[in-house]
Structure 1
């Protein structure tokens, strides 16, 4: 394609030269006229094709970039396009800001929901744990009554013969098994006798004047108290020492006693 364009540019003047030659053949001319005509034709060809010109130069000239014939945009059109682009950019920025605000709001909602769920999970776990402990405490308190009966029987029964001793040992074996089971689940007995009276642990049911124990100390543990970890299963029922110059024993509940905690 590139080689045909310069040849087409040459063919048109060449055709004119050929036409002139044909006219010259049809009309008789003098030798001088013919020579002049030939010189003119040669000069036309030389003008079209310089001596230094080659076919490659014509091809190179043909390969040069063609002229852009499209109309140049007017300044008003360019301003309108720029303004339109600015409007589109502003619209996109507004949409981006709106989406960013929505993302931030949804992120905050997600954080609040996550925090609420975590609080709910902890609260339900704590409630479940407390409920399990309450059920366990209620069950253990029922068993503590059985332990009390075994202890009362041990203190009152005095075997008189070998048969009674065998029965007594059997009961004591059951008692020991029950106490060991309570220990395995974390139940431990209080040791109140000789300790200073503590209303958080003890419940005073009697006060007795004495010089053998310091005032306000536990003289005797009437009913043993129990704990499970740091929880009080049952307060110990105790007799508290009073000064020797008191009015005597005071049967009944003291103001310093505490209620049972279950």
Structure 2
């Protein structure tokens, strides 16, 4: 049974509704209903209409009560949902702040590690360059020390070529044989990066030349190398051996001796 049916059962009878006994009694006492002032039936309303109005009012009151109860439940559910949502937002904000803090710490750690890596890479690159340079320097020193010991042998070959003049075919064959050996040695030195100096006619340079003689001359300007006495050699940009040279000097002016020196004033007096 619905709430409306229950309310209809509990509605009291209308005051205008009378039982059949009462109706009969009224009929006996008064007879027909007295006419109203306007000539119609009596002023009392229809009982069925009043009952329907009461039922409608009760139904509206029930709907209003249901709506009020629904609104209260909805408000309670909404408040609960808002509270849960607020709590969830606060939790998410806290998690976001924690993640941001972790991210900042990770970025700081990354920058620190990156800086260490860059420093280590720079140190290693400098170490590699330094060791490579030291290795090249050591190789050059060993090469220079070895080649320097061979230079006197080349000097002897050059002196022999300058002084020995073959007189016959046999001597010429011997001369050609040791000159071929000399040429092979020169070619080997060229492959090692060794080259002889050619200082004749150049200005004297103490970084390349060693002056052992000075020769007054008018053929060359003063300070010019006129002759190479001992050949010098260079390897790369380093002097392997300085060239011993003769350097031009200014010619000496002849002394003029006067036969009759001028007389002094005392002698004239």
**Band of TM-score, shorter chain:** 0.5 to 0.7
Q: How many residues align?
A: 180
Residue-by-residue CA offset, 1:32-60 (whole Å, 9 max, x unaligned): xxxxxxxxxxxxxxxxxxxxxxxxxxxxx
After superposition, the CA RMSD in angstroms is: 2.7
Secondary structure of the corresponding residue to residue 106 of structure 2: helix
Give the SS at the match of 2:178. Answer: helix
Which deviations, in whole Å up to 9, do the C-alpha atoms of 1:95-127 show, x marking residues without a partner?
111111111111121122112111211121111
Q: 1:177 to 1:75 in 2, by over 3 A?
A: closer
Structure 1, residues 184-218: CA drift from partner, whole Å, max 9, x if none?
A: 22221111122221112111011122223221111
Please tell me whether residue 92 in structure 1 is matched to residue 99 in structure 2. Answer: yes
Q: Does 1:186 align with 2:193?
A: yes
- The whole-number CA distance in structure 2 between the counterparts of 1:161 and 1:89 is 106
Match of 2:233 in 1: 226
In structure 2, what is the equivalent of residue 159 of structure 1? 166
Structure 1: gaps of 5 or more residues: 1-67, 248-262
Residue 226 of structure 2 corresponds to residue 213 of structure 1: no
Higher-Rg structure is 2
Any idea what SS the aligned residue of 1:245 has?
coil
Whole-Å Cα distance in 2 between the matches of residues 74 and 192 of structure 1? Answer: 103
Provide closer, same or farther for how the CA distance between residues 246 and 236 of structure 1 changes in structure 2, counting only shifts above 3 A.
farther
Return the match for 1:105 from 96, 112, 133: 112
String of CA shifts for 1:150-195, please: whole Å, max 9, x gaps: 1122223233444333222221111111112212222211111222
Map 1:1-262 onto structure 2 (within 5 A).
Answer: 72=77, 73=80, 79-245=86-252
Matched position secondary structure for 1:133: helix
Give the alignment's TM-score, normalised by structure 1: 0.61
Structure 1 residues 166 and 99: CA distance shift in structure 2, 3 A: same
Q: TM-score, structure 2 length as denominator?
A: 0.59
The runs of 5 or more residues in structure 2 that have no matched partner are 1-72, 255-269
**Distance in 2 between residues matched to 1:217 and 1:206, nearest whole Å:** 12
Distance in 1 separating the partners of 2:233 and 2:138: 19
Q: Is the 8 A contact 1:209 1:246 kept in 2?
A: no
